[in-house]
Amino acid sequence: MLNTSDILETIRMIRDENLDIRTVTMGISLFDCISDDPERLAEKIYDKVTRSAGRLVEVCCELEQTYGIPIVNKRISVTPLSYIGAGLSPEGFVKLAKVLERAAQELGVNFIGGYSAHVQKGAIKGAEALIESIPEALTETTRICSSINVATTKAGINMDAVAKMGEIIKKTAYLTRDNDSIGCAKLVVFANIPEDNPFMAGAVHGMGEPDTVINVGVSGPGVVAVAVKEAGDCDFSALAETVKRIAFKITRVGQLIASEAARRLGAPYGIVDLSLAPTPAAGDSVAEILENMGLSRCGTHGTTAALALLNDAVKKGGVMASNHVGGLSGAFIPVSEDRGMIEAAKLGTLTLDKLEAMTAVCSVGLDMIAIPGDTSAATISGIIADEISIGVVNNKTTAVRVIPVWGKGVGDSAEFGGLLGYAPIMPVKGESCERFIARGGRIPAPIHSLKN
């Protein structure tokens, strides 16, 4: 039987500590839309997406009302378009992006992910054309998210693709220069991209997924921050236990919503992603959790250890609460979307180097970081190569979503709006890595990729 304090705890989490379901994402396979006629392809994609997700928003609203918990985002991921439109030109891909944008508007979802390609070993023609089209596609649309997987632990790192993505990010920044280069906020470069991630901008519907699927991303940094604060100056074992307990409760809500959404939508339930996803709102910050553990400011010495403890405890608590766990699962550290990170970056305590170290122990990578607009394409590729190496060598997903804000430099800040937040421009190193990036080819897979 439920007791009063349990019920009031749930109410407090939702009302005062920003507990919510961050996203219900429907994955939709587009393989049955493939056609050699571009017009027919576009038509079939529009029909499949609007038909499959026709009730997504409505069902999520019903669930919000029934269970009393907000579902912040309703989203869609599709099969990477480089496969579906493999014969298209870059212009053809831009048209597909616009078709998906129209579908997103019609359905009332805020993002569709899957403007994507896997190029870890090399690019098929469709991937080359899609990558070429990214700057224009992200300029012409507002709800389409793009992700490119440039490396896996098994395949190594495609450095030609890394070099290319530096240029693509620069071009996207230029084309969306009137809005603080916001196009780059919808573009992620991955190592070991998951096939079932419900979070944007990196959501795709993988090749081994069912025709449609429901994946859910939970949240709740505010809830964890309060629990850590209330735990006081306990030792690390007790601290980890506190986080585990609260992560269990948060994830159970995700599990409930995922299975109920899947049932009502007639789609299989896929996974719950055990992530702590912050927002720029007060009391919804991962940095605040770390600071409540005893750091005077996120980014100072001890931050990586604090984050490692947090990330591990979230997984241990969450995995018990859900029958299928997947996606990115861990603490996110998107700078512009986390009030504590923004403050720490403004003060210079949180630097790009420290963030890189932090990504070695958490999910996902260098995320939503504004850098000077005059950063060279080679330097951006260098940042990508470093981050991707961490993922490849450590058998984990890492990613880079940096925004070289056109016309702005260190001391300025960029405004992305809504959940994407705002960020101070963070300095990058001035010394060149151009000769290194220009080598081209592939960095071989690490020895521990040979597991068989």
Partner 1 sequence: MKAVVTVTGKDKVGIIAMASAECSKHGVNIVDISQTVMKEYFAMIMLVELDGMKGAFAEFADAMRRAGSDVGVDIRVMHEDIFNSMHII
Looking at residue 441, the DSSP 8-state letter turns out to be S
Which one, 19 or 33, has the nearer CB to partner 1?
19
Q: Measuring CA to CA, which residue among 273, 308, 310, 319 is closest to residue 288?
A: 310
Tell me how far, at minimum, the Cβ of 253 lies from partner 1, in Å. 6
Tell me how far, at minimum, the Cβ of 232 lies from partner 1, in Å. 22
Binding window for partner 1 (CB under 8 A); candidates: 246-254, 351-359, 393-401, 440-448: 246-254
Q: How far is Cα 229 from Cα 249, in angstroms, rounded to an integer?
A: 17
Tell me how far, at minimum, the Cβ of 254 lies from partner 1, in Å. 9
Tell me how far, at minimum, the Cβ of 257 lies from partner 1, in Å. 9
Q: Which amino acid is at 265?
A: L
Which one, 159 or 274, has the nearer CB to partner 1?
274
Q: How far is Cα 318 from Cα 300, in angstroms, rounded to an integer?
A: 28
Q: What angle do CA 306, 329, 282 make, to 5 degrees?
A: 60
3-state secondary structure 181-198: CHHHHHEEEEECCCCCCC
Q: How far is Cα 182 from Cα 173, in angstroms, rounded to an integer?
A: 7
Binding window for partner 1 (CB under 8 A); candidates: 139-147, 245-253, 283-291, 310-318: 245-253
Site residues (CB under 8 A) for partner 1, limited to 3-32: 4, 6-11, 15
Residue 254's CB is within 10 A of a number of other CB atoms, namely: 27
Q: Measuring CA to CA, which residue among 214, 267, 282 is closest to residue 71?
A: 214
Site residues (CB under 8 A) for partner 1, limited to 46-65: 62, 65
Q: Are 307 and 331 in contact (CB under 8 A)?
A: yes
The pairing of strands 212-218 and 269-273 is parallel
Site residues (CB under 8 A) for partner 1, limited to 133-192: none
Which one, 22 or 171, has the nearer CB to partner 1?
22
Q: How far is Cα 353 from Cα 358, in angstroms, rounded to an integer?
A: 9
Which one, 3 or 296, has the nearer CB to partner 1?
3
Q: Helix, strand, or coil here: 423?
A: strand
CB within 8 A of 115, min separation 6: which ones?
81, 93, 97, 100, 130, 134, 137, 138, 144, 145, 146, 147
Q: Measuring CA to CA, which residue among 343, 366, 352 is closest to residue 422?
A: 343
Which one, 66 or 432, has the nearer CB to partner 1?
66
Among 205, 249, 396, 401, the residue binding partner 1 under the rule CB under 8 A is 249
Q: Are 405 and 373 in contact (CB under 8 A)?
A: yes
Which one, 46 or 67, has the nearer CB to partner 1?
67
Which one, 253 or 393, has the nearer CB to partner 1?
253
Tell me how far, at minimum, the Cβ of 4 lies from partner 1, in Å. 6
Which one, 2 or 450, has the nearer CB to partner 1?
2
Site residues (CB under 8 A) for partner 1, limited to 251-270: 252-253, 255-256
Tell me how far, at minimum, the Cβ of 269 lies from partner 1, in Å. 14
Which one, 7 or 238, has the nearer CB to partner 1?
7
Q: Measuring CA to CA, which residue among 132, 283, 293, 146 is closest to residue 221?
A: 283
Q: Are 131 and 168 in contact (CB under 8 A)?
A: yes
Tell me how far, at minimum, the Cβ of 25 lies from partner 1, in Å. 20
Site residues (CB under 8 A) for partner 1, limited to 65-124: 65-69
Q: How many residues bind partner 1 (CB under 8 A)?
A: 20
Residue 232 binds partner 1, judged by CB under 8 A = no
Tell me how far, at minimum, the Cβ of 327 lies from partner 1, in Å. 20
Tell me how far, at minimum, the Cβ of 108 lies from partner 1, in Å. 18
CA–chain centroid gap for 406, Å, is 23
Tokens representing 55 are 């009730």
Tell me how far, at minimum, the Cβ of 10 lies from partner 1, in Å. 6
Which one, 65 or 296, has the nearer CB to partner 1?
65
Q: Are 198 and 215 in contact (CB under 8 A)?
A: yes
Residues that bind partner 1 (CB under 8 A): 2, 4, 6-11, 15, 62, 65-69, 249, 252-253, 255-256
